[in-house]
Chain A
């Protein structure tokens, strides 16, 4: 093999072959998280560029889910009629990420593998119960491994992705019902969340449930599902849900916000939405 440091994949087979053959390779799709982190003087690690692999960019409707190619740009997800109708939470989260320029290049697969605790699309995907599909070349065939997103993301910047694998698809189950996505950051855009809440009111086996995912308050986003019984004492019901979510949180204090602020914020956001009000963000 030639000793080029940059490998420009035209199809998934090439990408997976190189991934197998080039130890320590860095996979680049949109590059918006990876490029700033790379030292421009470092030439040790081969790049495998998959941003040009057309077969990895798609949004398909399956029977019970959307299937989204890992290299689908965030802006495409944001604007997709299909996503807005069937998984509005994801479209909403996508629309609040970074900036228009970043959304035009960043990909959903990249957002997952980057595994930021404050990842907005990531938090939405936790609430939606998404499944991450990783592909690997085994002999002559491509094998696929499906992992629930909560098990795929391990910690800040850490995932279950193994050296020979590339994330190729995200399966987003339909969660029919009301979706709310609330992101709090320092400014309107290009803001890393200091708290994000993704809430879905839906039904599982005809039982009303509420799924709540919180981002930026732990090492990864966290998610929990609760049967949603309409009590006479609504406040009691709602505060027991909020307390349960609170137990999952272990935020850090950093330059963006102190830990206590983050949890108080999330508590307020959850209480507000569980009471059925709508926040109009200007």
Chain B
């Protein structure tokens, strides 16, 4: 069947067989490999993307269910000023080592920073609890997100 949706701001179309999950369509059909696969269970968050602006695990979403919806991957945030600030801060704070969790961290961090809520350590850790990292110990990621608030830190 044909699947039509908005991907990173552009209307796209592809053929799907039926039971594919979104992460596989993004990576294999659209070659957007920034979104990673860590567990296929919705636990690790490496596959996190935005669906109509909400962060979700793309490993659990049937591809057919995103018909006519808006999907944003890490590649789609390249030019976004909030995302760029966040990515620069993650790099600057050494909040990325192997990099595998980083796209998912950026997506979840982006949602949080963009929401405009006051950024505290508690809030950041709670809102990003769905993204696991095996390398950094999280502190530097938390610092980076904290600095990325509207009136904070490095640009």
Contact = CB atoms under 8 A, between A and B. Distances in A.
Query: Which of B51, B54, B67 gathers most chain A CB within 10 Å?
Result: B54
Query: Which of A28, A35, A99, A104 gathers most chain B CB within 10 Å?
Result: A99
A79 to B, nearest CB: 11
B42 A100 contact: no
Given A32-B42, A36-B41, A43-B19, A6 B130 contact: no
Specify the main secondary structure of chain B where it touches its partner: mixed
B55 interface: yes
A36 B42 CA distance: 8
Interface stretch (B6-14, B57-65, B78-86, B88-96): B57-65
Contacts of A102: 42, 57, 60, 130
B120 to A, nearest CB: 12
Interface residues of A, number: 28
B18 A190 contact: no
Contacts of B130: 98-102, 189-190
Nearest to B54: A104
A188 B62 CA distance: 28
Interface residues of B, number: 32
Contacts of B122: 282
Contacts of B108: 100-101
B129 A188 contact: yes
Interface in A1-30: 4-6, 8, 28, 30
Contact of A51 (B43, B55, B65): B65
A49 interface: yes
B36 to A, nearest CB: 14
Given A6-B19, A100-B108, A101-B108, A190 B43 contact: yes
B37 to A, nearest CB: 13
Given A49-B64, A99-B130, A100-B108, A5 B19 contact: yes
A8 B60 contact: no
Which 7 pairs between the two chains have the least Cβ-Cβ distance?
Answer: A99-B130, A189-B129, A101-B130, A36-B41, A104-B54, A101-B57, A35-B60
Given A4-B1, A100-B130, 17 more contacts: A4-B18, A6-B18, A31-B60, A35-B21, A36-B60, A49-B62, A52-B65, A99-B42, A101-B45, A101-B55, A101-B57, A102-B60, A102-B130, A104-B51, A105-B57, A190-B43, A282-B122
15 contacts: A28-B62, A32-B57, A32-B60, A49-B62, A75-B54, A100-B55, A100-B111, A100-B127, A100-B128, A101-B108, A102-B130, A104-B54, A105-B56, A188-B126, A282-B122
Interface of A: 4-6, 8, 28, 30-32, 35-36, 40, 43, 47, 49, 51-52, 75, 98-102, 104-105, 188-190, 282
